[in-house]
């Protein structure tokens, strides 16, 4: 288990609860941490309280600092890290940064193979590192860590949100040329509206809605920068054939706060075109009817769900690039998080099934929780798991689906209590800390499950004390009788999506089209008959 510390980073054994290794840096408080296992190494993406993102390797019970991604000699000029995230297989890393004026996203390719070679070649140096029997000291001093120079990650893409601009043109030919130079269809930027037209339209709008418009214009001047939210996806069916890759992440899914669109960028480029792209054009645009509040991707990266304003959820098939359902959950509510439940977490990525059964857990900002079951364009069933509570202490502060048991939901509340919930059976149990302790920062709790979802770790602090004494309590789900049926049901870990080449994708597509010919002809006949009936 890896833990962010007040002065660095630590690795602990889950079997013996002993500290294996530490990386110490005075004044560096790690506030977020992600760990990915790739072969014999672990990759760790961290962010500290000053907004500095660092990439580490954990190898042979030791930490190796690869790079401080946004560190500068002058802290005033440093761009603040908002989020630092690794792809599932550890091939790519994304870091969203904020400067004085705007936010942007950088994507890096990680040199895992080169790092492993460098570490193996310096095996003599690694013998000097800390072991379980040696006293814990400053690792960089005890192990000669600074002597090992690792190849830095390679920047492959920098994405900024394109603003809606005005275009000046002299004639139709000039206007047509300007359209061809902008981004793909669906972004809203491919227009030839002149500044004069904008002024005229704005004047008409203000005249019609004069009474409804606010006279205070300070809000426009204090508008917050739009922040990016991103996911690493697999290559979809509609991307070009030269994007074949052995990596599990071949596409970047990105949306900006306040935007209606989800953009997909190919991370794999043809030979000879691997240069970094500073303002890339999206390869695919997935438009939505409302501004996006939150998104989620299932384990196999085959389904992409977007929570929209006014309580609407859109389900996208990431492989086929088509929407499966648009569901109104609760009009007027703000969706705060989305999670996949059950078998929909592992729906086959390369499947041409356009209407899979999808179970979604929808959490709203007012602590309402809904279980949504949808199958394509048919009517969805919406079950209320938890209604809104007027008691502020009962507000939900965190929602987490248990790994390997995707029908169970772990909840934490503002009053420091917890609950393990089944969507169909209700509350199964509560995890109670000793009376001397309480969950540290209940409004923003720190907890984690192990990879198999068998152990739960909760950070806690002592009550009624000024000491900054932090403890981690471990709960074994294996010891709870009511959970045995769930553990037996989900013995096998979820499989990673199967990678296939362009030729195989084309073959599967042809087979699907042939097998569905009769059904498609039948549906086409039904549509024509319905159209004739409506027109007569």
**pLDDT tens profile 70-106:** 988 888 888 999 999 999 888 999 999 998 888 999 9
**Is residue 95 a contact partner of residue 218, using CB atoms and an 8 Å limit?**
no
- Chain segment 356-408, per-residue pLDDT in tens: 678 899 999 888 999 988 876 566 788 888 888 888 888 899 999 988 788 89
Say whether 409 sits in a helix, a strand or coil: strand
Which pLDDT score is estimated for 130? 41
Share of the chain above pLDDT 90, in %: 28
Which pLDDT score is estimated for 55? 96
Which pLDDT score is estimated for 283? 82
Grade residue 128 by pLDDT with cuts at 50, 70 and 90. very low
Place of tokens 């802290």: 75
Residue 297 has pLDDT above 80, yes or no: yes
The predicted model gives 3-31 an average pLDDT of 90
Each as own residue / partner, the long-range contacts of residues 486-492 (CB below 8 Å, 24 or more positions apart, any chain) are: 486/405, 486/407, 486/408, 486/422, 487/405, 487/454, 489/405, 490/404, 490/405, 490/406, 490/453
CA torsion sign for 275, 304, 448, 453 is negative
**Is residue 329 a contact partner of residue 306, using CB atoms and an 8 Å limit?**
no
Which pLDDT score is estimated for 239? 55
Which pLDDT score is estimated for 227? 92
Which tokens hold the place of 436?
Answer: 């001397």
Which pLDDT score is estimated for 357? 77
Q: Residues with Cβ < 8 Å from 477, sequence gap 6 or more?
A: 402, 405, 453, 454, 455, 456, 483, 487
Which pLDDT score is estimated for 459? 92
Place of tokens 């409302």: 290
| Across 150-159, 412-421, 470-479, 497-506, least confident range | 497-506
Residue 284 has pLDDT above 50, yes or no: yes
Share of the chain above pLDDT 70, in %: 76
Hey, where are the domains in the chain?
A: 1-160, 226-388, 391-500, 502-535
Is 481 exposed, middle or buried (CB count within 10 Å of its CB: 0-12, 13-18, 19+)? exposed
Which pLDDT score is estimated for 324? 80
CA–CA dist 444, 460 (Å, integer): 12
Grade residue 131 by pLDDT with cuts at 50, 70 and 90. very low
Q: Residues with Cβ < 8 Å from 337, sequence gap 6 or more?
A: 294, 296, 307, 363, 399
Which pLDDT score is estimated for 135? 43
The predicted model gives 334-360 an average pLDDT of 72
Helix (H) or strand (E) holding 526: helix 517-535
Which pLDDT score is estimated for 289? 86
CA 308 → CA 253, 261, 311, distances in Å? 16, 11, 6
CA 397 → CA 33, 363, 459, distances in Å? 19, 11, 14
Which pLDDT score is estimated for 143? 46
| Across 45-49, 218-222, 475-479, least confident range | 218-222
Which pLDDT score is estimated for 348? 56
Residue 24 has pLDDT above 90, yes or no: yes
The predicted model gives 159-170 an average pLDDT of 72
* pTM of the model as a whole: 0.79
| Across 119-128, 235-244, 410-419, least confident range | 235-244
Counting every residue, how long is the chain? 536
- Provide the CATH number for the domain formed by 226-388 in this structure: 2.40.128.630
């Amino acid at each position: 288990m890896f833990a962010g510390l007040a002065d660095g980073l630590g690795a602990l054994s889950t079997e013996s609860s002993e500290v294996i290794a530490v990386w110490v840096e005075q004044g560096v408080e790690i506030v977020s941490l992600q760990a990915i296992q790739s072969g014999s190494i672990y990759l760790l993406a961290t962010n500290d309280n000053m907004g500095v993102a660092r990439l580490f390797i954990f190898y042979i019970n030791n930490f190796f600092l690869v790079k401080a991604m946004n560190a500068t000699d002058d802290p005033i000029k440093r761009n603040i890290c908002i989020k630092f995230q690794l792809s599932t297989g550890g091939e790519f890393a994304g870091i969203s940064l904020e400067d004085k004026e705007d936010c942007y996203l950088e994507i890096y390719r990680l040199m895992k193979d080169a790092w492993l070679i460098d570490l193996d070649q310096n095996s003599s140096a690694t013998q000097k590192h800390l072991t379980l029997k040696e006293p814990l000291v400053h690792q960089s001093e005890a192990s000669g860590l600074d002597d090992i120079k690792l190849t830095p990650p390679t920047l492959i893409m920098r994405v900024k949100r394109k603003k809606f601009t005005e275009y000046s043109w002299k004639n139709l030919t000039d206007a047509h040329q300007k359209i061809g130079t902008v981004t793909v269809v669906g972004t809203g930027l491919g227009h030839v509206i002149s500044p004069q037209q904008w002024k005229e339209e704005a004047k008409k709008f203000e005249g019609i809605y004069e009474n409804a418009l606010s006279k205070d214009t300070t809000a426009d001047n204090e508008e917050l920068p739009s922040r990016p939210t991103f996911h690493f996806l697999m290559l979809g069916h509609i991307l070009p054939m030269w994007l074949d890759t052995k990596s599990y992440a071949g596409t970047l899914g990105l949306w900006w706060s306040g935007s209606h669109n989800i953009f997909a960028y190919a991370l794999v480029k043809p030979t000879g075109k691997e240069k970094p792209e500073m303002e890339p054009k999206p390869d695919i645009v997935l438009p939505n009817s409302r501004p996006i509040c939150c998104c989620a991707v299932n384990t196999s990266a085959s389904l992409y769900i977007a929570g929209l304003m006014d309580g609407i959820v859109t389900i996208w098939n990431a492989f086929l690039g088509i929407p499966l359902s648009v569901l109104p959950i609760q009009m007027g509510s703000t969706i705060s998080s989305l999670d996949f439940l059950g078998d929909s977490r592992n729906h086959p990525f390369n499947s041409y099934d356009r209407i899979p059964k999808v179970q979604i857990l929808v959490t709203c900002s007012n602590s309402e929780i809904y279980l949504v079951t949808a199958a394509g364009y048919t009517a969805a069933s919406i079950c209320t798991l938890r209604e809104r509570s007027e008691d502020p202490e009962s507000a939900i502060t965190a929602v987490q689906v248990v790994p390997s048991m995707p029908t169970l939901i772990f909840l934490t509340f503002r009053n420091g209590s917890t609950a393990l919930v089944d969507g169909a059976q209700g509350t199964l149990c509560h995890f109670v800390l000793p009376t001397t302790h309480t969950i540290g920062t209940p409004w923003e709790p720190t907890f984690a499950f192990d990879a198999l979802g068998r152990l739960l770790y909760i950070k806690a602090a002592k009550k009624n004390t000024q000491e900054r004494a932090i403890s981690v309590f471990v709960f074994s789900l294996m010891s709870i009788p009511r959970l045995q049926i769930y553990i037996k049901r989900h013995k096998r870990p979820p499989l990673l999506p199967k990678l296939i080449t362009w030729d195989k994708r084309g073959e599967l597509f042809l087979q699907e089209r042939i097998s569905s010919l009769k059904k498609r002809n039948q549906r086409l006949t039904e549509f024509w008959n319905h159209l004739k009936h409506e027109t007569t």
